[in-house]
Structure 1
């Protein structure tokens, strides 16, 4: 089984009403919202695919940091990514607090830690990842309402 996700998550009300181009907000469970960084968004904003888990970078690429600071208006949020293939995988997050990026954390349960820091609470039979519904789709583009085959033509 394979799984990958690359997105920005926050509690409801943190993201601005108007987002930068090629981005959309998706409602998750438990009062959490997500901005999936699918194929179109990554290409439009010059963001690499899974820079922390797939590429092994030790800091966020500048294009991703710039995008995150554009949406850092009303509270804390986290950039998250994960890649699982054949049962083995890696997760990572960077917490943005007060408009500033923290250090990247790469760990087996990194997304659960990020969601905990944002205030997500779970029932006794699930973890944070499961409680907000991040397992609903197996790859980032599946979360989006538009087709990843749409071509964005820049002026």
Structure 2
């Protein structure tokens, strides 16, 4: 896909930032859009399930401003949804097992570091905006 840009993260993980161009390229207009995610392109969950036959795959949405925000995640393995969808809404307390994003990263094999959660340990805190991951 011309619109796809894979970005290497720490711990052997990779990120495929969902740009507007990529979203347009992977949207299947014949499929219904899932209401439990903000920006998951219609039909893309089926693509993620297919990709997970080669290894676990996560779809992650995270939006924060000034320390408050929301997260939506799902993880597929062996073509099956194995975690989620999980959501953390603004104002909700963080569950004892961690944020949905950290739980998804753990499902992909990420490990938290000393005084760092999985999000920080794999390097997701390096950019705040999707566009920055694309440059």
Deviation of residue 131 (structure 1)? 0.4
State whether structure 2 residue 92 is matched by structure 1 residue 136: no
- Structure 2: stretches of 5+ with no match in the other structure: 29-34, 89-93
CA contact (8 A) 1:54 1:83 kept: no
Q: Residue by residue, what CA displacement relative to the aligned partner does 1:32-53 show, whole Å, maximum 9, x if unpaired?
A: 1111111211122238xxx646
Please tell me the root mean square deviation across aligned C-alpha atoms, in Å: 2.3
How many residues are treated as equivalent by the alignment?
119
- Contact 1:121–1:128 (CA<8 Å) still a contact in 2? yes
Is 1:75–2:55 an aligned residue pair?
A: yes
Q: What is the aligned counterpart of 2:116 among 116, 123, 126?
A: 126
Structure 2 contact 10–121 (Cα < 8 Å) conserved: yes
SS of match in other structure, 1:104 = strand
Secondary structure, counterpart of 1:72 in structure 2: helix
TM-score by length of 2: 0.75
Task: Identify the range of structure 1 (98-107 vs 112-121) with the bigger mean alpha-carbon deviation.
Answer: 98-107
Following the alignment from structure 1 to structure 2, what is the Cα–Cα distance between the partners of residues 36 and 96? 17
Q: Is the 8 A contact 1:93 1:114 kept in 2?
A: yes
Residues 142, 26 of structure 1: CA spacing in aligned structure 2 closer, same or farther, 3 A cutoff?
A: same
Unmatched runs of 5 consecutive residues or more in structure 1: 1-19, 146-155
Measure, in 2, the Cα distance between the counterparts of 1:118 and 1:86: 28
TM-score (norm 1): 0.66
Q: Aligned-pair distance for 1:82?
A: 0.4
Partner Cα distance (2:41, 2:24) in 1: 14
